[in-house]
Amino acid sequence: MTHSTLDQIKAFTTIVADTGDLQAIEQFRPLDATTNPSLITAAANQAENRYLIEDAYTQASQEGLQGDALIDRAIDILTVKLGVEILKRINGRVSTEVDAALSYDTAATINKAKQLLALYQDYGVEKERILIKIAATWQGIQAAKQLQAEGIHCNLTLLFSLHQAHACADAKVTLISPFVGRILDWYKKAEQVTQYPIAQDPGVNSVKAIFKFYKQHQIRTEIMGASFRSIDQVIALAGCDLLTVAPNLLQQLAQEQRPVQDQLSLDTAFDSAPPPAALNEADFKQQLQHDLMASQLLQSGIDGFIKAREQLHILLAQSFGIDASIKV
């Protein structure tokens, strides 16, 4: 019997669903799932999720909040309620993102992470099943470092460079999400090319470099490739710790029967090396400043997640007849 490409990849890698679509999660039954503000907004626009919005609004109203504060709290509650529904359909973890507007504020990120965890705990969900998703700015990484020290697991997202991955390793975060497709998009635009052979794909090769760095230095942080543009990119990273894949690509992989090999085998490439020196803030910021791709994509990613949350803010405000100050 010939197995699907998706099933073959699962022999090497944990597949994670990159979606807030509950039907897609039921269809593909991944171990874990990831969400972000864009995916939460998409889920909120589905008619079958209307009850989640209404429940979130009611709960926030009962806390005595009004106006924009009411809507912001309702978004947090909605985000957690969707996470709870996802967890009913999987056996592993769900990643829940801190408001991207807090990406440069360590203390505020820590506070928001604990608020989200408290909501999950109110619904009877153990913290071991939650990954707090934080943008991989210096401030975000330092927030994750403190949260991890308190036993709170973190997923550092919007990661585009080896030095971001290095700083995350220093912080002993549970998991990082290096973005494949956005790196490819950036290079295609910058170099004015329409495509790269998969062996030269800059997004794929960025994840491979991070994987090699982590395994050489015996870093325990998990690597989860994210932001895929094609099934070729997914197949090229078979063997990565985890890969988070959108439902349309999962469907394509399930329909294909291409042979898959482990592309990141520990048996082939990685001699151990002494632990790398920890990065300090000045070094981190200097390396980010000199990496135009990473610096631009980090900021544009943060801006995009902020905009998605603002769109959700407007959606909820209009739904419940509240005058919202945010305009998008």
Catalytic residues: 133
In the numeric block, the tokens 């999660």 are attached to 25
Residue 305 in contact with residue 97, Cβ under 8 Å? yes
Q: How many CA atoms are closer than 13 Å to the CA of 153, on its beta-carbon side?
A: 16
Contact residues for 101 (Cβ-Cβ < 8 A; gap 6+): 306, 309
Residue 67 in contact with residue 103, Cβ under 8 Å? no
Question: Nearest CA to 297 among 193, 234, 243, 227?
Answer: 227
Q: How many residues does the chain have?
A: 328
Contact residues for 4 (Cβ-Cβ < 8 A; gap 6+): 253, 254, 255, 256, 257
Q: Helix or strand or coil: residue 34?
A: strand
- CA distances for 58 relative to 22, 32, 204, 219, 314, angstroms: 22, 29, 44, 44, 17
- CA distances for 213 relative to 169, 210, 236, angstroms: 10, 5, 18
DSSP codes, 58-92: HHHHHTT--HHHHHHHHHHHHHHHHHHHHHTT-SS
Tell how many helices (H) and how many strands (E) occur in the chain.
14, 8
Question: Nearest CA to 297 among 137, 96, 99, 133?
Answer: 137
Q: Which contiguous run of DSSP H or E holds residue 317?
A: helix 292-319
